C-alpha cells in the first residue's frame, strides 16, 4: 500500500500498519510527538490500522487536532482521579472543547480544595505512565460490562447506539472508559494541565434531567503555554463585566427584584444616558430619523396581527389568560408593529418615502434562566431601535445606509475590529417557523448577499437564524469568555406591510406596498455597556466616563480653589468631582487611579495663585501644569470628537 505524506513524499508497505507504526518508521522523534493521524483528512486514533492507499498527516501538539487529543486524554485521567478519590461518583461524558476539556459527574459538588486534590491525583496517574489500550465489544456485551461497573449514564449512551454497533473502550492501567477516541498512547504524554473550576450541569443539557457536577480543565504540551493561558484567564476575570461592572458600581442585581432585571446605578446610568443622547442626536440630525414613543404593552390582537403571537409567544411576558380574561395584554418584545401604526396614522405619497422612525425602546423577553448573564442577556433591556418604511426601489440604498450607520457607531465606540458579520437566512426545511414564499426569501437573501459583497464586508451565512418575516445581517461580537452575542441587527422585510395593510400612493395614484427595514444603530444599551466594560477593562474613553475629572486639593486650604475649578469645568458640561477628604495627596491620586479616571487635577498654593492645574492622566501620567482654560479646551475637544486616547502609562 502507498501512504502519501503531508510533504508529498510517499511510503510503501507490504502489510497493514498502524498510524503509530508509520510515524515510528518515519522517525522516533515524530512517533514520540504524535497525538493522532489525519487519514484522507479525517482525524484517527494512532492505533488505527491502515490497509489501503491514502494520504496521511501525523498530528502533533502543534496542531489544533493534536491538542484536542491531549485534552481528551486529560479528561479521562481526571475521571480516573475522581473515581479514585470519590468512588461513589458516576461518570458521564468528558469531551475536549476549544479552551480545554470538561467531565461531568453524578456526585456531590466539588470545592476548590477538591480540585486541588484531584490535580495531585492526576499527577500520580500521569507519573505511573500507564499505556492506553483500545478495545471493542458488541453492543449488548458493552451494556452488561458497564452495568457491572455500576455506570448507568454510560449504559444509557450505549443503548442509544445502533444494535449492530461495535462499542469502543479505552483502558489506562485498569481504569476503563467508554469512548470513541482518539487518545494518546500513554498517560505520561500529558505534560501540563490545570483544573480551572467546577459548576452544575444537566445530563444531556436537559433541565428536566439529573443535575451533574462539571469540572473544567485545560491541558497543553508545554508548561509555558499553560502559564500563558492561566494569565489569560486572570485577564478575563479582570475584564468580566459581571464582576468589574459591579466593582465599579455601574450596575447590580437583587434577588427579590428578579433574575435578568439589573439595576443600573448612577454611574452606569450616566454612561447609558451619554450613549443614548449621542445616538438620538446622530440619527435625528444627521441621518434623517423622526422620533416616536410607543406603549410598553399591547393587546394580544396586535401580536396576532404581526405574527409574533404564533412565532414568538413563548418568549413574551403575557398578562392574562385567553380562556378566562376578556382582554389579554403582553409586554412588547419588539416595537415594529407599534411604529407601523404611526405610519398608518396618515396617508403617504411615494414622495414621502423613505420615512425613518427611531425610538429608544424598552423591550421585554422571557429569557430562560440558564441563559441570563450580567447585562448581556436580560429580561428587560433598551435598544436603539428603528424602522424604515421605504419604496422597493429605495431598499438597497437604505439598507446600505443602515450598515454605514452601524459601522460608524462601532468606529466611534472603538470596537469596529471586534465584530463579525452574518447573513442570517431562513431554513427551508423548517417552513412552519417562517411566513412567506421561498421565492421571496431567496430574492431578499440574494439582495443582502450582493450588498455585503459590494461593500467589501466579509461575512458568513447562518441557516435558520433569520427572523420569521425576513433575512437579516447580524453584527456579532464575542465576550471575554468567547461566547458570541448579536450586537446590531439589520433586517430586510418584504412581507409584514401586507399583513398590516400598509401602503403608499405611487406616481400613478395607485396603492403600493412599501418594504420595511428593521434595524438598530448601536443595539442594546445594556449589552453594549457590558461589551465596553470588557473591551476597555473599565478604562473607558473620556467622553463615556461617568466621572471624567477629579480635582484633588493637596490640603483643606485649597478647597475653595478646587471648588472654583469644579464649577468652571461643570459649566463646560464636564463630569467632575472634588476629593475633599482629609487624606494625603498620594493616597488621593492612587484612589483616583484605581477608579480608572481619565484625569486628575492636583491643586495647591501655586496653582491657586496662577489659575492653573497640575494635570495627571490615565494616558500619559504627569502632563504638567496647565492654565485651567487650556485644560478645559483640551478635554472639551476630546469629548466633542469622542477621541480614544492611547494609554502609555504602565501601572
Tens digits of residue pLDDT in 569-587: 999 999 999 999 999 999 9
- At residue 206, the pLDDT reads 85
The position carrying cell 493616597 is 587
Whole-angstrom distance, CA of residue 559 vs CA of residue 580? 7
Phi-psi region of 255 (alpha: psi -120 to 50; beta: other; left: phi over 0): alpha
Other Cβ atoms within 10 Å of 284 Cβ, number: 14
44-78: per-residue pLDDT in tens? 999 999 999 999 999 999 999 999 999 999 999 99
**Mean pLDDT for all residues in the chain:** 93
- Alpha-carbon distance of 414 to 644, in angstroms, equals 7
Percent of the chain beyond pLDDT 70? 99
pLDDT in tens, 403-447: 999 999 999 999 999 999 999 999 988 888 888 888 989 999 999
Read off the pLDDT band of 650 (50, 70, 90): very low
The DSSP output letter for 48 is: P
User: Quick one: cell of 641?
Assistant: 470628537
**What are the C-alpha distances in Å from 276 to residues 348, 360, 361, 382, 611?**
29, 8, 11, 10, 35
What are phi and psi for residue 43, nearest 5 degrees?
-70, 130
Report H helices in 463-513: 496-499
3-state secondary structure of 601: strand
Yes or no: say if 96 and 71 are a contact pair by the CB < 8 Å rule. yes
Contacts of 494 (CB under 8 A, 6+ apart): 392, 436, 440, 443, 444, 470, 515, 516
**Alpha-carbon 219 to chain mean position:** 23
Q: What is the DSSP letter of 585?
A: H
Task: Check whether 470 has a pLDDT greater than 60.
Answer: yes
d(CA 452, CA 646): 31
Rg (CA), the chain: 31
Which whole number is the average pLDDT over 192-208? Answer: 91
Close Cβ partners of 422 (under 8 Å, ≥ 6 residues apart): 459, 460, 461, 462, 465, 473, 474, 475, 476
Q: Output the nine-digit C-alpha cell for 283.
A: 440619527
Could you tell me the pLDDT band of residue 649, with boundaries at 50, 70 and 90? low
Whether the per-residue pLDDT at 651 is higher than 60: the answer is no
Amino acid at each position: 500500500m502507498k501512504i502519501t505524506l503531508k510533504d508529498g513524499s510517499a511510503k510503501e508497505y507490504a502489510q497493514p500498519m498502524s498510524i503509530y507504526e508509520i510515524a515510528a518508521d518515519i522517525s522516533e522523534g515524530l512517533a514520540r510527538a504524535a497525538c493522532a493521524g489525519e487519514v484522507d483528512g479525517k482525524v484517527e486514533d494512532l492505533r488505527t490500522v491502515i490497509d489501503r492507499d491514502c494520504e496521511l498527516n501525523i498530528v502533533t501538539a502543534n496542531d489544533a487536532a493534536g491538542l484536542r487529543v491531549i485534552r481528551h486524554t486529560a479528561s479521562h485521567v481526571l475521571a480516573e482521579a475522581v473515581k479514585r478519590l470519590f468512588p461513589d461518583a458516576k461518570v458521564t461524558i468528558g469531551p475536549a472543547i476549544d479552551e480545554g476539556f470538561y467531565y461531568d459527574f453524578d456526585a456531590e459538588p466539588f470545592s476548590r480544595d477538591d480540585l486541588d486534590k484531584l490535580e495531585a491525583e492526576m499527577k500520580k496517574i500521569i507519573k505511573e505512565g500507564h499505556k492506553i489500550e483500545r478495545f471493542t465489544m458488541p453492543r449488548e456485551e458493552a451494556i452488561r460490562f458497564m452495568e457491572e461497573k455500576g455506570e448507568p449514564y454510560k449504559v444509557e449512551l450505549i443503548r442509544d447506539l445502533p444494535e449492530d454497533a461495535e462499542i469502543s473502550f479505552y483502558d489506562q492501567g485498569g481504569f476503563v472508559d467508554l469512548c470513541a477516541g482518539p487518545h494518546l498512547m500513554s498517560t505520561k504524554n500529558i505534560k501540563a494541565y490545570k483544573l480551572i473550576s467546577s459548576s452544575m450541569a444537566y445530563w444531556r443539557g436537559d433541565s428536566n434531567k439529573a443535575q451533574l457536577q462539571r469540572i473544567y480543565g485545560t491541558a497543553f504540551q508545554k508548561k509555558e503555554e499553560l502559564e500563558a493561558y492561566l494569565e489569560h484567564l486572570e485577564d478575563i476575570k479582570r475584564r468580566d463585566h459581571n464582576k468589574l461592572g459591579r466593582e465599579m458600581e455601574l450596575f447590580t442585581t437583587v434577588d427579590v427584584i428578579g433574575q435578568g432585571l439589573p439595576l443600573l446605578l448612577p454611574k452606569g446610568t450616566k454612561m447609558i444616558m451619554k450613549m443614548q443622547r449621542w445616538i438620538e442626536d446622530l440619527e435625528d440630525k444627521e441621518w434623517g430619523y423622526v422620533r416616536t414613543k410607543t406603549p410598553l404593552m399591547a393587546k394580544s390582537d396586535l401580536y396576532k396581527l404581526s405574527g409574533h403571537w404564533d412565532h414568538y409567544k413563548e418568549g413574551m411576558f403575557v398578562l392574562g389568560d385567553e380562556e378566562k380574561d376578556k382582554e389579554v395584554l403582553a409586554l412588547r418584545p419588539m416595537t415594529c408593529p407599534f411604529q407601523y401604526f404611526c405610519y398608518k396614522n396618515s396617508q403617504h405619497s411615494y414622495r414621502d418615502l423613505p420615512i425613518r422612525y427611531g425610538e429608544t425602546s424598552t423591550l421585554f423577553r422571557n429569557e430562560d434562566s440558564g441563559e441570563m448573564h450580567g447585562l448581556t442577556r436580560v429580561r428587560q433591556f433598551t435598544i436603539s431601535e428603528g424602522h424604515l418604511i421605504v419604496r422597493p426601489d429605495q431598499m438597497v440604498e437604505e439598507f446600505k445606509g443602515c450598515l454605514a450607520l452601524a459601522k460608524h457607531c462601532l468606529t466611534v465606540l472603538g470596537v469596529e475590529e471586534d465584530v463579525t458579520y452574518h447573513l442570517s437566512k431562513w431554513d427551508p426545511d423548517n417552513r412552519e417557523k417562517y411566513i412567506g414564499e421561498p421565492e421571496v426569501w431567496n430574492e431578499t437573501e440574494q439582495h443582502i448577499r450582493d450588498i455585503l459583497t459590494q461593500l467589501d464586508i466579509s461575512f458568513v451565512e447562518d441557516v435558520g437564524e433569520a427572523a420569521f418575516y425576513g433575512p437579516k445581517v447580524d453584527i456579532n461580537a464575542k465576550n471575554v469568555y468567547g461566547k458570541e452575542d448579536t450586537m446590531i441587527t439589520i433586517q430586510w422585510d418584504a412581507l409584514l406591510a401586507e399583513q398590516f395593510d400598509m401602503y403608499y400612493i405611487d406616481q400613478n395614484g395607485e396603492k403600493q406596498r412599501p418594504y420595511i427595514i428593521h434595524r438598530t444603530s448601536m443595539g442594546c444599551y445594556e449589552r453594549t455597556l457590558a461589551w465596553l466594560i470588557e473591551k476597555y477593562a473599565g478604562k473607558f474613553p473620556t467622553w463615556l466616563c461617568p466621572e471624567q475629572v477629579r480635582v484633588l486639593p493637596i490640603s483643606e486650604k485649597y478647597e475653595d480653589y478646587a471648588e472654583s475649578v469644579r464649577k468652571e469645568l461643570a459649566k463646560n458640561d464636564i463630569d467632575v468631582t472634588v476629593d475633599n477628604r482629609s487624606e494625603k495627596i498620594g493616597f488621593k491620586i492612587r484612589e483616583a487611579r484605581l477608579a480608572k479616571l481619565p484625569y486628575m487635577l492636583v491643586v495647591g498654593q501655586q496653582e491657586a495663585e496662577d489659575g492653573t492645574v497640575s494635570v495627571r492622566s490615565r494616558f500619559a501620567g504627569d502632563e504638567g501644569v496647565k492654565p485651567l482654560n487650556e485644560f478645559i479646551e483640551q478635554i472639551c475637544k476630546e469629548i466633542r470628537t469622542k477621541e480614544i486616547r492611547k494609554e502609555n502609562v504602565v501601572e
